[in-house]
Structure 1
Amino acid sequence: MRLRPLRPAEMAALRALHDASFDALGAAYGAAVKAAHAALVAEPAYAEEVARCDPWVAEGPDGRLLASAGWCEQEGRCRIRKVFVHPDAARQGFATRLVRAAEERSGLARFTLRAYLDAVPLYGKLGYRAVAPARMALPGGLSMPVLMMERP
């Protein structure tokens, strides 16, 4: 497995990775939220948003994308973005390695993120603490609960 920047031609594979990861969340989110999230990932603006967050991927030995994470600067902090792990690669340390690599690439000292509910324990292990519950808007007027977290 190696970490590397996302290549522009890999956007379809990245979208499939994000869909598979979110779909595997299980009971944290219902079918309607999963469908709305899939619609969000399919929107043309999603690729633009991904491109703005220095996306890196974990690539398996067969060239398949296994995980992703990026970052952008927001109010002087590094905001961790687009952390997804394919269900086949879950619990193998990919998210940890990608988050730490994004933090390092940012060169910043303070970090923030919007955690999907199933990822809160992971971020807690990485030193992030809860700041406030929030809602993430989705297509079709839906939203989903998330937790804003930070690591000073």
Structure 2
Amino acid sequence: MIVRTPSLTELPALRAIERAAGEPFRGLGMASVADDEPPSLEQLAEFQRAGRALAAYEEPAWADEGHGPVGYLLWEPVDGCTHIEQVSVHPDQARRGIGRELIDRAEREGGRGALTLTTFTEVPWNAPYYARIGFRVLPEAELTPGLRAIRAHEAALGLDRWPRVCMRREPDLCT
């Protein structure tokens, strides 16, 4: 597995990964999540230029013409932590450790100690998965101002139709 910053020409592939990764939500009665528009090319380019976008490629296909990324992650600094804004893996590549590799790499590149994210509690490949790789649910009292703002934005988008939580992974639990 190769993890690196995607090129600008690979950004449309990240949008395609996001669309494919959203489809399984439809089977859980979460069609609006499945139908949610991926980050725009402009948004992806902002993350890419800031060095806060990572993409995963299979070896050796990543170097071959026409073979693009199979997963990606966007992160940003929030309240002294590396906050995972989005991590998506194409469903055809699921259960191969790609998401974890992207998360571990973000932890190393973020250089901000703990990792944080927000996620759905009852989606098997969301909170239960993150708990298996060392994240813990943050109680309300531990939410930072930045995490509270992110959750408020998510609620305004209607994501609170389904239970959501903030989670954190300490650096000593990271590999």
TM-score normalised by the chain length of structure 1: 0.81
Unmatched tracts of structure 2, length 5 or more: 141-150, 171-175
Using the TM superposition, give the Cα deviation of residue 97 of structure 1 relative to its aligned residue in structure 2, in angstroms.
0.6
Using the TM superposition, give the Cα deviation of residue 107 of structure 1 relative to its aligned residue in structure 2, in angstroms.
1.4
Using the TM superposition, give the Cα deviation of residue 11 of structure 1 relative to its aligned residue in structure 2, in angstroms.
1.6
Q: Mark the structure with the bigger radius of gyration.
A: 2
* Aligned residue among 48, 57, 72 for 1:68: 72
Using the TM superposition, give the Cα deviation of residue 85 of structure 1 relative to its aligned residue in structure 2, in angstroms.
0.5
Q: Kindly tell me: are residues 29 and 8 of structure 1, through their superposed partners in 2, closer, same or farther at Cα, counting changes over 3 Å? A: farther
Residue 55 of structure 2 aligns with an amino acid whose one-letter code is V
TM-score normalised by the chain length of structure 2: 0.71
2:132 paired residue number: 125
- 1:25 corresponds to 2:25: yes
Using the TM superposition, give the Cα deviation of residue 49 of structure 1 relative to its aligned residue in structure 2, in angstroms.
5.7
Greater fraction strand: 1
Q: Kindly tell me: are residues 23 and 46 of structure 1, through their superposed partners in 2, closer, same or farther at Cα, counting changes over 3 Å? A: farther
Unmatched tracts of structure 1, length 5 or more: none
- 1:58 corresponds to 2:62: no
Paired residues in the alignment total: 147
Residue 133 of structure 2 aligns with an amino acid whose one-letter code is L
Q: Kindly tell me: are residues 4 and 42 of structure 1, through their superposed partners in 2, closer, same or farther at Cα, counting changes over 3 Å? A: closer
SS in 1 for 2:112: coil
Q: Kindly tell me: are residues 46 and 59 of structure 1, through their superposed partners in 2, closer, same or farther at Cα, counting changes over 3 Å? A: same
Asked if structure 1 preserves the Cα contact closer than 8 Å seen for 2:2 and 2:56, the reply is: yes
Residues 2-151 of structure 1: pairs in structure 2 closer than 5 A: 2-35=2-35, 37-38=36-37, 41=38, 43=40, 46-47=43-44, 50-51=47-48, 52=50, 54-60=52-58, 61=61, 63-116=67-120, 117=123, 118-131=125-138, 134=151, 136=154, 142-144=158-160, 145=162, 146-151=164-169
Q: Kindly tell me: are residues 16 and 129 of structure 1, through their superposed partners in 2, closer, same or farther at Cα, counting changes over 3 Å? A: same
Using the TM superposition, give the Cα deviation of residue 137 of structure 1 relative to its aligned residue in structure 2, in angstroms.
5.1
Using the TM superposition, give the Cα deviation of residue 47 of structure 1 relative to its aligned residue in structure 2, in angstroms.
2.8
Using the TM superposition, give the Cα deviation of residue 143 of structure 1 relative to its aligned residue in structure 2, in angstroms.
2.9
Write the deviation string for residues 66-123 of structure 1: whole angstroms up to 9, x where unpaired.
Answer: 1111322111111122210100000000001110010011112122111243311221
Distance in 2 of aligned mates of 1:29 and 1:50: 31
Q: Which runs of 4+ in 1 moved over 6 A?
A: none
Asked if structure 1 preserves the Cα contact closer than 8 Å seen for 2:26 and 2:34, the reply is: no
Q: Which has the higher contact order (CA 8 A, sep 6+)?
A: 1
Using the TM superposition, give the Cα deviation of residue 53 of structure 1 relative to its aligned residue in structure 2, in angstroms.
6.5
Write the deviation string for residues 125-146 of structure 1: whole angstroms up to 9, x where unpaired.
Answer: 22111125857257xx643443
| Cα root mean square deviation, aligned | 2.6
